[in-house]
Amino acid sequence: MKITPAASQRFVVAFLWLITSITLLVLLFIIGYILVHGLGHINWSFLTESSRRMGREGGIFPMIVGTILVTGLAVIIAAPVGVLTTIYLTEYTREGKLTSIIRFGTDCLAAIPSIIFGLFGFVFFVVVLRMGFSIISGALTLAIMVLPTIIRTSEEAIRAVPKSYREVSYGLGSTRWQMVTKVVLKSALPGIGTGIVLSIGRCISETAAVMLTAGSALRMPDSPFASVRTLSLHFYILSREGISMENAYATASVLIITILVINVIAYLLMRRLAAKVR
Amino acid sequence: MSDNAKIIVDKFSAFYNQAEVLRQIELSIYSKERLAIIGPANSGKSTFLRSLNRLNDLHFHFSHSGKIIFDEKDIYDNTVDVPSLRRRIGMVYAVPAPLPCSIYDNVAYGPKVSGIKSRSKLDELVEFGLKKAVLWDEVKDRLKEPAMNLSGGQQQRMCLARVLALQPEVLLLDEPCSGLDPISTAKIEDAMLELKSSYAVVLVTNNTKQAARASDRTAFFLMGQLIELSRTDELFTNPADERTEAYITGQFG
């Protein structure tokens, strides 16, 4: 029996449609399940109060603060370092042994499990540099962890800037640095921004590396050297130790909504930026 | 033609990865003249043009020998300030390449990177450039629009305006009309004729007819060598070298 091309075409379309729907359904099921179990427990006091009795009662305000501080600091450290590294790699050196070694290094870094970064952060920042379990140890560790993401996405964005822009800029008498800041970075900004948003997401959802470096204190942080517990870690501890599944789901819901909101805002911002540079 | 040459090219050779692409070029470029450079593909005309304002420096494998004297100084001397050299010897490329910003910002780019901050001075230079490039009347009401919205011919005149806003002394044009329709081409050629009164214009072109109608002198390049250089009417009616004759009559290339 021979299958006609038309029949195989119909079969493939149906098959691809099925596979895509399964992927979407799984995703929707996970998000739905968590929101159904968690949304009911979210209210104003849950968002604005400290936890009591190890998280069985009270809210998650210190964890929200902790997440913002650790993630924010990590990205503030990683973004400039990553973008400047990329500028050096793409604009200031010619392709050679050194650049391929650096590139290979960042690829390896990107593939390392986060708990290894956590272990490094624990040994180096927490113990050797005596920073203790703290916001700063956690942020530095996460910064190293997301650096490869930022470098690779920025590199792609910068390489996508047409060569003619560079020639024009030089031809009109700009220095290399003027060319980089006024032309290359401007057109690569949407792509670089996407990389930074990706790394914000990775920082927010990280648990292992944070547990080993920022600790898991429940109280409000009062200095950069205070230990904090991030939302993801709070969720992990609440569920893993069977403290309160209701609060665990509520925390997870807050996490999911936050990441969704960040992604939507970032998407809109990038679209506006991209429209501007066109 | 005045005796004081604007640019003197002295035994200039250029290499990419040791391969010689220009061999012992010797010629002078005078102010207030239009010099056309013609020749088949791979004859080194673009490389020569790009050597004149050191744009070849962007190639890591480029090297040279000989001298290019501009303003009594070898432009490849270590003490030369390359950005300011490129402002004085401006270049328009074959493919119009607007930067991804407004028409105004495109034309003001050169003056801005040279350090001019005064808004009124910038306005003045933008208007000056656009007028010289015969584009002002078409765009004066939409200077804030993205430059990408312009048609191909307008984009190329904007690229010309962008260079002219820097008030250069020498203007290098690398096949500026290769992608344009006849009307846009005519507009660019008109602009060139007017520009010649204040600049030295060097035009690289694949179009021998364009060289014949829009230049005062013509140089014929072949395989990296300067074969012949003379007054345009002379070169096209009575070429001295048989290879020049073969090329302009369309027997090869």
Identify which of B86, B97, B113 has the shortest CB distance to residue A164.
B97
For chain B, which residues score pLDDT lower than 70?
1-3, 252-253
CA B63 to chain centre: 21
| Residue (of B24, B90, B78, B6) closest to B53 by Cα position | B90
Total tally of structural domains belonging to chain B: 1
Structure tokens at A100: 């391929």
pLDDT band at A263 (very low <50, low <70, confident <90, very high): confident
DSSP-assigned letters across all residues of chain A? ----HHHHHHHHHHHHHHHHHHHHHHHHHHHHHHHHHHGGG--HHHHHS-EEGGGTEE--HHHHHHHHHHHHHHHHHHHHHHHHHHHIIIIIS-SSHHHHHHHHHHHHHHHS-HHHHHHHHIIIIIIIT---SSHHHHHHHHHHHHHHHHHHHHHHHHHTS-HHHHHHHHHTT--HHHHIIIIIHHHHHHHHHHHHHHHHHHHHH--HHHHHHT----SPP-STTS----HHHHHHHHHHTTS-HHHHHHHHHHHHHHHHHHHHHHHHHHHHHHHHT-
Using the Cα atoms of residue B133, residue B139, residue B140 and residue B144 in order, give the sign of their dihedral.
Answer: negative
pLDDT greater than 80 at residue A274: no
Chain B contact for A168 (CB, 8 A cutoff): yes
Q: Residues near B73 by Cβ (< 8 Å), separated by ≥ 6?
A: B80
Chain B contact for A91 (CB, 8 A cutoff): no
Using the Cα atoms of residue B78, residue B81, residue B85 and residue B91 in order, give the sign of their dihedral.
Answer: positive
Sort out which chain B residues have CB atoms less than 8 A from A182's CB and list them. 109, 112-113
Residue with tokens 């729907």: A21
pTM score: 0.81
Distance CA B66, CA B11 (A): 5
Residue in A closest to B93 by C-alpha: A168
Sort out which chain A residues have CB atoms less than 8 A from B86's CB and list them. 170-173
Kindly report the length of chain A: 278
What pLDDT shows up at residue B3? Answer: 57
| Residue A50, Cβ density class (10 Å: 0-12 exposed, 13-18 middle, ≥19 buried) | middle
pLDDT digits (tens, 9 = 90+) for A243-257: 888 889 999 999 999
User: Is residue B25, in this structure, part of any structural domain at all?
Assistant: yes
Sort out which chain B residues have CB atoms less than 8 A from A165's CB and list them. 97, 99-100
DSSP-assigned letters across all residues of B74-115? ETTSTT--HHHHHHHEEEE-SS----SSBHHHHHHHHHHHTT
Angle at B126 between CA B49 and CA B101, to 5 degrees: 80
Q: How far is B97 from chain A (nearest CA, A)?
A: 6
Per-residue pLDDT, averaged over A74-84, amounts to: 95
Chain B contact for A164 (CB, 8 A cutoff): yes
Q: Are B53 and A171 in contact (CB under 8 A)?
A: yes
Chain B contact for A165 (CB, 8 A cutoff): yes
Tell me which CATH homologous superfamily contains domain A61-229+250-276: MetI-like (1.10.3720.10)
Q: Residues near B221 by Cβ (< 8 Å), separated by ≥ 6?
A: B37, B38, B39, B43, B44, B45, B48, B227
At residue B67, the 3 state secondary structure works out as strand
Chain A contact for B162 (CB, 8 A cutoff): yes
B162 with A186: Cβ contact below 8 A: no
Identify which of A164, A172, A183 has the shortest CB distance to residue B166.
A172
pLDDT greater than 80 at residue A269: yes
HSE of B46, CA atoms in CB hemisphere, 13 A: 11
A171 with B95: Cβ contact below 8 A: no
| Residue (of A179, A160, A151, A157) closest to A84 by Cα position | A151
HSE of B11, CA atoms in CB hemisphere, 13 A: 2
Per-residue pLDDT, averaged over A48-58, amounts to: 79
Sort out which chain A residues have CB atoms less than 8 A from B84's CB and list them. 173
What pLDDT shows up at residue B132? Answer: 87
Task: Give the Å distances, CA to CA, from A225 to A62, A138, A213, A218.
Answer: 15, 10, 11, 14
pLDDT band at A43 (very low <50, low <70, confident <90, very high): confident
User: Is residue B36, in this structure, part of any structural domain at all?
Assistant: yes
HSE of A232, CA atoms in CB hemisphere, 13 A: 19
Q: Are B159 and B96 in contact (CB under 8 A)?
A: yes
Sort out which chain A residues have CB atoms less than 8 A from B53's CB and list them. 171
At residue B137, the 3 state secondary structure works out as helix
B86 with A173: Cβ contact below 8 A: yes
User: Is residue B253, in this structure, part of any structural domain at all?
Assistant: no
Chain A contact for B56 (CB, 8 A cutoff): no
Question: Domain range holding B63?
Answer: 5-248
Residue B3: Cβ within 10 Å count = 6
User: Which of the listed ranges A72-76, A173-177, B57-61, B80-84 does the model predict with the highest average pLDDT?
Assistant: A72-76
Angle (deg, nearest 10), helices A245-276 and A185-205:
180
pLDDT digits (tens, 9 = 90+) for A99-156: 888 888 888 988 899 999 999 999 999 999 989 899 999 999 999 999 999 999 999 9
Sort out which chain B residues have CB atoms less than 8 A from A172's CB and list them. 86-87, 90, 109-110, 113, 162-163, 166
Sort out which chain B residues have CB atoms less than 8 A from A161's CB and list them. none
At residue B200, the 3 state secondary structure works out as strand
* CATH at B232: 3.40.50.300
pLDDT digits (tens, 9 = 90+) for B81-112: 999 999 999 999 888 889 988 999 999 999 99
Q: Residues near A175 by Cβ (< 8 Å), separated by ≥ 6?
A: B83, B113
What pLDDT shows up at residue B1? Answer: 43
Sort out which chain B residues have CB atoms less than 8 A from A173's CB and list them. 83-84, 86-87, 110, 113-114, 166
Per-residue pLDDT, averaged over A261-269, amounts to: 87
A277 with B101: Cβ contact below 8 A: yes
Distance CA A197, CA A193 (A): 6
Residue with tokens 């930026």: A273
